[in-house]
């Protein structure tokens, strides 16, 4: 249990206090802004590098199939997991293990943000359509276009999160 809590603290999903114990991190506008800012700085470049290095089209196709199946399901967990798998597939081949680790941790915290405000974020279909456009660019080897689309995707997610949290 201690190891699991230590791992969760390391990703930023939980916080600990000697007086209050361990709790799930509170999602607020400042936290969401920090996570989205880091994603905007790091994830598009990692995706660009993955595509330039040669993305595994077969594996990406399987990730997309999973995402499509989740689009039709009402299983929020599977939607979240397929979303994370999609993003990870796009950045994991950037050939920088430290960057992948940072993005994995950010993805976990981003999932917490998403789950916290999911009911107020709007259409899953809109997000899925953005994913399809990013994937199309990735599969065509258009690294800069995919990175730009991803940047817009993250900014749109941030805008919707701020709106859901009532932040300016």
Encode pLDDT of 45-75 as tens digits. 999 999 999 999 999 999 988 888 887 767 7
* Nearest C-alpha neighbor of 81 from the set 103, 58, 51, 114: 114
| pTM attached to this predicted model | 0.81
Domains of the chain: 35-165 (1.20.120.530)
Is pLDDT above 70 for 36? yes
Residues 6+ apart with CB under 8 A from 102: 38, 42
Q: pLDDT digit string (tens) for 110-143?
A: 888 887 777 655 556 677 889 999 999 999 999 9
Kind plus residue range of the DSSP H or E element containing 96: none
């Amino acid at each position: 249990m201690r190891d699991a809590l230590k791992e969760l603290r390391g990703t930023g999903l939980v916080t600990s206090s000697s007086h209050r114990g361990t709790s799930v991190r509170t999602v607020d506008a400042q936290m969401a802004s920090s996570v989205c800012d880091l994603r905007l700085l790091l994830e598009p470049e990692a995706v660009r590098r993955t595509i330039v290095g040669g993305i595994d089209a077969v594996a990406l196709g399987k990730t997309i199939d999973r995402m499509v199946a989740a689009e039709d399901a009402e299983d929020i967990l599977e939607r979240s997991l397929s979303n994370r798998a999609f993003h990870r597939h796009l950045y994991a081949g950037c050939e920088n293990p430290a960057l992948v680790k940072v993005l994995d941790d950010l993805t976990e915290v981003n999932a917490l943000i998403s789950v916290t405000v999911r009911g107020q974020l709007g259409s899953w279909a809109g997000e899925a359509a953005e994913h399809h456009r990013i994937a199309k660019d990735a599969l065509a080897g258009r690294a800069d276009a995919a990175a730009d689309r991803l940047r817009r995707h993250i900014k749109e997610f941030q805008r919707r999160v701020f709106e859901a949290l009532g932040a300016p």
